[in-house]
Structure 1
Amino acid sequence: MITISLCMIVKNEEEVLARCLDSVADLVDEINIIDTGSTDGTKEIAARYTNRIFDFEWIDDFAAARNFAFEQATCSHMMWLDADDIILEKDREAFKKLIPEMPDDIDSIIMEYHLAFDKAGNPAAGSRRNRIVRREKGYRWHNPIHEYLEVTEGKVYVSEVAVSHERMGDHSARNMEIFKKKLLQDGAKLEGRNQLYYANELVDQQMFAEAVEQYEQFVQGEKETPEDCMYAYSKLAECYHHLGQRKQKMQSLLLALQFHVPRADHCCSIGYSFEERGQYDAAIHWYEMALTLPKPKYHMGLLNLVCWTWMPHVQLCICYAKLGEIEQAYKHNEKALAYLPDDINLLDNKLRLEQALGITPSSTEDNKQAPIEEPLLQSDDTDGGTESPC
């Protein structure tokens, strides 16, 4: 049976560290905490769980810190977490069943990484990560910011166990500062993933025109992976959406289709572009397609997970209502409610649609074909509820 060294880098994490360690301490064989300069009670909290606490002088390089953390491990395999990560109970139980099944020579265990949640607590955005790796393989972290663990070969297992990221604070300013110190000195030109990550930081700071320039340069690269190019075109579409350039937004979405089979989140974005134009029949086509597509099994990039659950139903409700097809609108609103039973927008839809369908005494038969003039949903809701896709 494999043994696991947990390897974490921390700084001023007294608000969240105990929550993280409480969720994982009994699942691992060793805990290594690498402190990069805490001035609060982080070390004291860590000492409740382990005596393996190491200092690392911060040099604005996350990869260097994570590699140092891996170097302290003594078990057969190494696992990484951030201090604001947590393993929820259902995933703890799955973890307990998973590890005894792993052969000693497994090189990497990939786990789900849930990065955002809807109002009902369902995962709304996520990706996958090489979460546990065999120590003797010597896998290394790369990039000072937005670091990644390179696993290019070996025996890999794709697990359904998830780590949930409950982010604390906004790190955009810090990340941009590291870019300037490490990657943008003396007029250096960003290339490859660094350029992609820099563009993402520009988006986080709402510098959409500047981000467009970086994404456009990135997709012209000859060595970029299809997955990264598809993602970059999706982000380009997001930027053009915020810039009010609908034609360029649609072009970016369609260009992304050259790299891979359509995904549900991509279909929803195309559907929403048609919906913005009032082309509801075309929008319905793409939302219906989204409902037929499985979540990609081996995809490692960011996915808008609600596009595999309630999002297409929400937008189909709106589109069918605009076309006066109230029964279809009601059907999809009910399906969305199955995921978000307490959502106030969907509950309001339900009431209004039932009235239009004659379920209440105040409605008439003619209402069944009358389009609903006002928007059914608050499409600018941004706190994990019934938000429209870009």
Structure 2
Amino acid sequence: MITVSLCMIVKNEEDTLPRCLESVQGLVEEIIVVDTGSRDRTRETARELGAKVYEFPWVEDFSQARNFSFSKATQQYCLWLDADDVIDPEYREGFLELKALLPPQTDVVMLPYHIAFDQRGEPTFTYFRERLIRRLSGLKWRGAVHEAIPPVGNVIYWEKAAVSHRKTRPSDPDRNLRIFEGLLSQGKELEPREQFYYARELASHGREEEASGLWEEFLSSGKGWVENQLEACRDLAQSYLRQGKEDLALSALTRALRYGPPRAELCCDLGSWFFQRGDYPTAAFWYETALTRPREDRSGAFVSPDCYGYLPCIQLCVCYYRMGDHARSREYNRRAGTFKPDDPAYLYNERFFHGEEDHS
């Protein structure tokens, strides 16, 4: 069985840290907590929970802090978590099984990362992240913000354990933008991945023209990772919609087709574009196409599970109703209910259809 060091970087997390560390009790052999300038009891809390605590001055660079945390590990593998991450109880056995079965020559283990949930607690947004890294692999974190370790060498994907991001309070909304603009002020040229995320930060701050221009530049360079290019097309389309540039939004969505067969997320975006303009037959085509697309969780893509079932079905219910095909409309609502039987939209539609029956 492999041994694991949990390596964390934290700041002012005395309220959330206990939940995280309690979730890994019995799963890791060592806990490393690197504090980057807390003004609360984060350091004391970490020590009380059995962590080895180190201090590292915050220099507006997440990779430097994470690499420092990894440098303090002594076990075979490094596991990283943020303070508002947890390993939920249903994944404990899967994590222990991974520790027991992992071939010792493995460099990187990719685990699902659930970062958004519906009212039933089911993940609505998931992607794989490099989660366990062999300490002596030589792999390092890269990127001042949205940092990552390129998953190279012997990489395996493990789906029996996952990490859930359960935020309890908002983070500093300006932090990432501040870091990017600090890099630019120092004359640093952003790498393609950094361009992609910088554009996202610009858009989230309402700087849409700058964001769309940067996404266009990123896509035109052709240097980005294919998953980031696909996502950039979708992000660019949403930015153009917010700017009232509807035709450019459609062009951005269809541009994504250059990178291969469409994922269900893209199909739903295309369906929405035509739905909003009252072109229900074309919208239905794209929503029905979404239902045929396989999930590609291991591609590294951001996966929205609803796009592979519930969302296209509930939208097809509306499309076919407005096209006058009430039987097919009701059938798609029934199918939507198989994915989310407690969803308010599905239940409302069911009551609506029963009301139509009563008046017929």
TM-score above 0.5, yes or no? yes
Q: Deviation of residue 351 (structure 1)? A: 0.7
Q: Which residue of 2 aligns with 1:79?
A: 79
Check whether the contact 2:20–2:83 (CA below 8 A) recurs between aligned residues. Answer: yes
Separation in 2, partners of 1:187, 1:59: 17
Separation in 2, partners of 1:309, 1:28: 36
Distance 1:128 1:348, change over 3 A: same
Separation in 2, partners of 1:111, 1:230: 22
Q: Which residue of 2 aligns with 1:118?
A: 118
Check whether the contact 2:11–2:42 (CA below 8 A) recurs between aligned residues. Answer: yes
Check whether the contact 1:125–1:302 (CA below 8 A) recurs between aligned residues. Answer: yes
Separation in 2, partners of 1:296, 1:53: 39
Q: Which residue of 2 aligns with 1:174?
A: 175
1:140 aligns with 2:131: no
Separation in 1, partners of 2:187, 2:52: 41
Match of 2:127, SS state, is strand
Q: Which residue of 2 aligns with 1:388?
A: none
Q: Which residue of 1 aligns with 2:334?
A: 334
Q: Which residue of 1 aligns with 2:247?
A: 247
Q: After TM superposition, list the pairs within 5 Å mapping 1:123-202 onto structure 2.
A: 123-152=123-152, 154-160=153-159, 161-167=161-167, 168-181=169-182, 183-185=183-185, 189-202=189-202
Q: After TM superposition, list the pairs within 5 Å mapping 1:14-53 onto structure 2.
A: 14-53=14-53
Q: After TM superposition, list the pairs within 5 Å mapping 1:1-390 onto structure 2.
A: 1-152=1-152, 154-160=153-159, 161-167=161-167, 168-181=169-182, 183-185=183-185, 189-356=189-356, 358=357, 360=358, 363-364=359-360
Structure 1 unaligned spans of 5+: 365-390
Separation in 2, partners of 1:253, 1:240: 11
Greater Cα offset, 280-289 or 166-175: 166-175
Match of 2:9, SS state, is strand
The one-character-per-residue Cα deviations of 1:284-313 (angstroms, maximum 9, x if unpaired) are 111111111111042113222221231111
Separation in 2, partners of 1:214, 1:57: 31
Check whether the contact 1:125–1:304 (CA below 8 A) recurs between aligned residues. Answer: yes
Check whether the contact 2:128–2:297 (CA below 8 A) recurs between aligned residues. Answer: no
Separation in 2, partners of 1:32, 1:67: 12
The one-character-per-residue Cα deviations of 1:193-247 (angstroms, maximum 9, x if unpaired) are 1111110111222322221011011011142222221111111011112222221
Q: Deviation of residue 127 (structure 1)? A: 1.3
The one-character-per-residue Cα deviations of 1:45-84 (angstroms, maximum 9, x if unpaired) are 2112224111111111100000000000111111100001
The one-character-per-residue Cα deviations of 1:115-161 (angstroms, maximum 9, x if unpaired) are 11122211111211110011111110011111111233x11111112
Q: Deviation of residue 6 (structure 1)? A: 0.5
What residue identity is the alignment partner of 2:180? Answer: F
- TM-score when normalising by structure 1: 0.88
Q: Deviation of residue 12 (structure 1)? A: 0.4
Separation in 2, partners of 1:139, 1:48: 31
Separation in 1, partners of 2:2, 2:252: 45
What residue identity is the alignment partner of 1:103? Answer: P
Identity %: 39
Match of 1:235, SS state, is helix
Match of 2:50, SS state, is coil
**What is the number of equivalent residue pairs in this alignment?**
358
Separation in 1, partners of 2:220, 2:20: 41
Check whether the contact 2:275–2:283 (CA below 8 A) recurs between aligned residues. Answer: yes
What residue identity is the alignment partner of 2:179? Answer: I
- TM-score when normalising by structure 2: 0.95
